[in-house]
């Protein structure tokens, strides 16, 4: 298949590695067909890319480029993404199996992220602060952190990359990005667009390869000043350890097991609809998926029944078919993981209300499909309630009192996001205030936008992406004090 794409690493302004002997085959999860063969980098390419980013940062040209100019380049990237939106959406769907309609939406969001940080680039000036010394100037300025290692997952390959690339470039950092080895295609394409937009050589570098080699080199290298990582909790913990070798700054966006609390006084149809969207979008492979439903007892049975009726009609299939609502999981390995997760739920006593297995439809046998699954009779101690399954699986628990609902919602090592559905505004606000997570949606689920910060409480991560806080992750703060009328102290 001709993708018209540089299937290579991008290091110091050059596309390299096309003839590498080490390669990786990228497959379409819908039918396991080969989409591309890319070079497989390791520590060697990672070191070269880090050296290029270090040299480019230390020579000072990019960090001292006026922020307005850097912002204009970032805005230009947004425009190029909009221009090539259809090509990018097709690539993303080929690589991940998600529906093209969803990928188109992703591309709009991604352009929005670049646009937001392009516009914010020159609005991050410092401030003068009051000085205790007469005739002096005391100012606080924000400077780029330096060389950033950026590691992304496979579920939203380009969206997650945009949350890292745009603020890093806007603030004058240099970077080395390692996309997930399973889904590198849209990231490659965006590096082409960044080159076209005028990002200077050495500023943004791309190395394709595995976490244990390229990723590990980024997190352990003493020439990298910051690691921004999005992925699973166990990988995040490993990265914290390796990153400690030179006390790197860390930004971690880890997993979630996100509660969605449905009160009896909620708009029933709205809550059913949003509960389904909240979890089955992209086959549940979303860090913020509302996989943990907590439903008031008086409506529990009716609510579960309504979910089941809607799930019965879900259309699974090829993301390129217009009527497909849910695509496959990302890989054979992940499908097996989800299957084991569901099996554990059954063994622990949860009842499968629908799904619970692979589909039997002959047309889906070449893809990594799993049926949308609803577990009822769940209790908080079950692994399906506590662990992030990262598949199309909802668990349903019951509650009777508001405090109990909040307690259940908070009973997790994660704290990424959660939702509350009720028509009682005061109750919604009380719950939102007590829910220990980085985002709480009221009568909504899974909505995010560039100017709202995103990140987790507890083990869901460290730091925030998006919004103004997203830019702060990529800056160091410096206090500069100048005495305009210095006098000797005469102490010694």
Rule CB under 6 A: which of 452-471 touch ligand NAD? 456, 461
Which residue of the set 102, 217, 253, 296 is catalytic?
253
Ramachandran quadrant class, 430 (left: phi over 0; alpha: psi -120 to 50; beta: rest): alpha
Window contacting ligand NAD (CB under 6 A); options: 8-16, 153-161, 310-318, 367-375: 153-161
Window contacting ligand NAD (CB under 6 A); options: 212-220, 260-268, 356-364, 441-449: 212-220
| Residue of the chain from 157, 167, 184, 231 that contacts ligand NAD (CB under 6 A) | 231
Those residues whose C-beta lies under 8 Å from the C-beta of residue 487, and which sit 6 or more positions away, are none
Window contacting ligand NAD (CB under 6 A); options: 53-61, 197-205, 235-243, 482-490: 235-243
CA distance 266 to 7: 50
Residue recorded with tokens 């529990």: 300
Under the binding rule (CB under 6 A), the answer on residue 72 touching ligand NAD is no
For the chain, percent helix, then strand, then coil, each to nearest 5? 40, 20, 40
CA distance 324 to 476: 46
| Residue of the chain from 63, 144, 167, 211 that contacts ligand NAD (CB under 6 A) | 211
In the complex, least distance from residue 239 CB atom to ligand NAD, rounded to whole angstroms: 5
Rule CB under 6 A: which of 408-437 touch ligand NAD? 416
| Residue of the chain from 75, 186, 216, 446 that contacts ligand NAD (CB under 6 A) | 216
Under the binding rule (CB under 6 A), the answer on residue 71 touching ligand NAD is no
Q: Quick one: 142 or 334, whose CB is closer to ligand NAD?
A: 334
Q: How many CA atoms lie within 13 A of 3 on its CB side?
A: 22
- Start-to-end C-alpha separation, the chain: 77
In the complex, least distance from residue 226 CB atom to ligand NAD, rounded to whole angstroms: 14
Q: Quick one: 256 or 355, whose CB is closer to ligand NAD?
A: 256
Rule CB under 6 A: which of 261-300 touch ligand NAD? 287
Window contacting ligand NAD (CB under 6 A); options: 97-105, 134-142, 209-217, 309-317: 209-217
CA distance 277 to 102: 12
Q: Would you say 443 and 428 are in contact if contact means Cβ atoms under 8 Å apart?
A: yes
Residue 282 CA to chain centroid, in angstroms?
13
What is the SS3 assignment for 93?
Answer: helix
Q: Would you say 103 and 86 are in contact if contact means Cβ atoms under 8 Å apart?
A: no
Closest CA to 475 of 200, 179, 228: 228
Distances, alpha carbon 420 to alpha carbons 92, 260, 266, 301, in Å = 31, 6, 9, 18
Those residues whose C-beta lies under 8 Å from the C-beta of residue 490, and which sit 6 or more positions away, are none
Residue recorded with tokens 């460290």: 462
| Residue of the chain from 102, 388, 402, 473 that contacts ligand NAD (CB under 6 A) | 388
| Residue of the chain from 57, 62, 154, 369 that contacts ligand NAD (CB under 6 A) | 154
In the complex, least distance from residue 82 CB atom to ligand NAD, rounded to whole angstroms: 23
Q: Quick one: 253 or 402, whose CB is closer to ligand NAD?
A: 253
287 flagged as catalytic: yes
253 flagged as catalytic: yes
Catalytic positions are 253, 287
**Where along the sequence are the contacts to ligand NAD (CB under 6 A)?**
151-156, 160, 178, 180-181, 210-212, 215-216, 219, 230-232, 235, 238-239, 253-256, 287, 388, 390, 416, 456, 461
């Amino acid at each position: 298949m001709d993708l018209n794409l540089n299937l290579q690493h991008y290091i110091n302004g050059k596309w390299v590695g096309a003839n590498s002997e080490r390669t990786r085959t990228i497959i379409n999860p819908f039918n396991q067909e080969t989409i591309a063969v890319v070079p497989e980098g390791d520590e060697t390419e990672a070191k070269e890319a880090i050296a290029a980013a270090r040299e480019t940062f230390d020579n000072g040209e990019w960090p001292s480029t006026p922020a307005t100019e850097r912002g204009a380049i970032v805005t230009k990237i947004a425009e190029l993404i909009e221009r090539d939106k259809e090509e990018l959406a097709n690539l993303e769907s080929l690589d991940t199996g998600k529906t093209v309609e969803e990928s188109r939406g992703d591309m709009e969001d991604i352009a929005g992220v670049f646009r937001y940080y392009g516009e914010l680039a020159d609005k991050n000036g410092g401030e003068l602060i009051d000085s205790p010394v007469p005739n002096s100037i005391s100012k606080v300025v924000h400077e780029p952190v330096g060389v950033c290692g950026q590691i992304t997952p496979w579920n939203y390959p380009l969206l997650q990359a945009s949350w890292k690339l745009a603020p890093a470039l806007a603030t004058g950092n240099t970077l080395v990005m390692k996309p997930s080895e399973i889904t590198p295609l849209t990231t490659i394409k965006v590096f082409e667009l960044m080159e076209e937009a005028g990002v200077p050589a050495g500023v943004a570098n791309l190395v394709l390869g595995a976490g244990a080699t390229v990723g590990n080199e980024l997190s352990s290298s003493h020439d990298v000043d910051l690691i921004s990582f999005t992925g699973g909790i166990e990988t995040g913990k490993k990265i914290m350890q390796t990153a400690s070798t030179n006390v790197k700054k860390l930004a971690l966006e880890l997993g979630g097991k996100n509660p969605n609390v449905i009160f009896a006084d909620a708009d029933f149809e709205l809550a059913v609809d949003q509960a389904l969207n909240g979890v089955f979008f992209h086959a549940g492979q979303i860090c913020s998926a509302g996989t943990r439903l907590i439903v008031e007892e008086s409506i529990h049975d009716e609510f579960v029944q309504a979910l089941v009726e809607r799930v019965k009609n879900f259309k699974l299939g090829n993301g390129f078919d217009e009527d497909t609502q849910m695509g496959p999981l990302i890989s054979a390995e992940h499908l097996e993981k989800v299957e084991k997760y569901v099996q554990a739920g059954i063994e622990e006593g949860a009842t499968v209300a629908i799904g619970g297995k692979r589909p039997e439809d002959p047309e889906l046998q070449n893809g990594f499909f799993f049926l949308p699954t609803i577990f009822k009779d769940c209790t908080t101690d079950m692994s399906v309630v506590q662990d992030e399954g990262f598949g199309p699986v909802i668990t349903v628990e019951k509650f009777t009192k508001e405090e109990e609902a909040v307690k259940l919602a908070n009973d997790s090592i994660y704290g990424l996001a959660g939702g509350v559905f009720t028509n009682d505004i005061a109750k919604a606000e009380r719950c939102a205030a007590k829910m220990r997570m980085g985002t709480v949606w009221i009568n909504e689920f899974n909505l995010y936008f560039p100017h709202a910060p995103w990140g987790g409480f507890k083990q869901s991560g460290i730091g925030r992406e998006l919004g103004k806080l997203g830019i702060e992750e990529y800056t160091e703060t410096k206090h500069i004090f100048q005495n305009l009328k210095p006098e000797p102290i005469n102490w010694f």
